[in-house]
Amino acid sequence: MSHTNTCHPGLLVFISGPSGVGKSTVCRKLAAELPAEFAVSATTRQAKPQDAQGKKYEFVDHPTFRKLLEAGELLEYAEKFGNWYGTLKKPVEDGVKAGRTILLEIEVQGAIQVHKLFPEALGVFILPPSEKDLLKRLRDRGRDDEATIQQRFMEAKQEIHMAEATGIYDLLVVNEDHGVDKTCETIKKAIRKFRGDEQQPLF
Ligand code: 5GP
């Protein structure tokens, strides 16, 4: 199936969720299954081995990030865990204009900015089954020391609270243990409904 669907205007979908919720796995699966593409983000954080198969980043230094920002080349931006992240604007605008579905995997501050610019965008927030479960998942990733895990856990709880309070998310979906397939189906159904083509087997 072509990524361009001439029967529909383009669609912007922003997906957020706390660290450890399984967001990257869900987003990778969605990108593979949907006629959709991921927006590229510029970030000042260091590249990690898992970036090779995940969302697309352009790794830049702080002065370059500031230049992108000052030149108006970022659709939105935010600081997270001491690093700066921002979505490159032009490919998103071009994609939406061309009728494509563009996915943004971004945190809540950036999502608020996107919602202001594109009130018609679809917002999805991925939740853990419970706080206890989230803490377990953060530990099971084996990436961080206990102090970092506690920090991420606290920030995750704040992010969930903020997401629920902003009201910008159209869909809050719980990613159950081993529930990636179900979570993706729920998101795809929401996208179909949002595009007004529930009856059509678009994907
Ligand atoms: P990570 O460093 O683990 O890839 O991402 C850290 C956090 O930054 C995640 O919540 C991710 O969704 C968010 N993020 C990644 N790219 C962007 C971006 O371009 N803009 C914003 N606002 N958040 C982003």
Q: Going residue by residue through the chain (203 aa), what tens digit of pLDDT does each one get?
A: 334 444 457 899 999 999 889 998 999 999 889 988 899 999 999 998 878 877 789 999 999 999 999 999 999 999 998 999 999 999 999 999 999 999 999 999 999 999 999 999 999 999 999 999 999 999 998 888 999 999 999 999 999 999 999 999 999 999 998 899 999 999 999 998 888 766 554 44
Kindly report the protein residue whose alpha carbon is nearest to atom 15 of ligand 1: 106
76 CB less than 6 Å from ligand 1? yes
Is residue 153 situated within a structural domain? yes
Is residue 200 situated within a structural domain? no
- C-alpha–C-alpha distance, residues 15 and 107, integer Å: 8
107 CB less than 6 Å from ligand 1? yes
Kindly report the protein residue whose alpha carbon is nearest to atom 3 of ligand 1: 19
Q: How many domains does the chain have?
A: 1
DSSP codes joined into one string, 44-71: SSPP-GGGGGSS-EEE--HHHHHHHHHT
At residue 161, the pLDDT reads 96
Find the 3 Cα to ligand 1 centroid distance in Å. 24
> 1 vs 53, 97, 170, CA distance in Å?
22, 19, 26
Is residue 180 situated within a structural domain? yes
106 CB less than 6 Å from ligand 1? yes
- What atom in ligand 1 is closest to the CA of residue 17? 10
- Domain with residue 67: its CATH number is 3.40.50.300
Is residue 80 situated within a structural domain? yes
Is residue 48 situated within a structural domain? yes
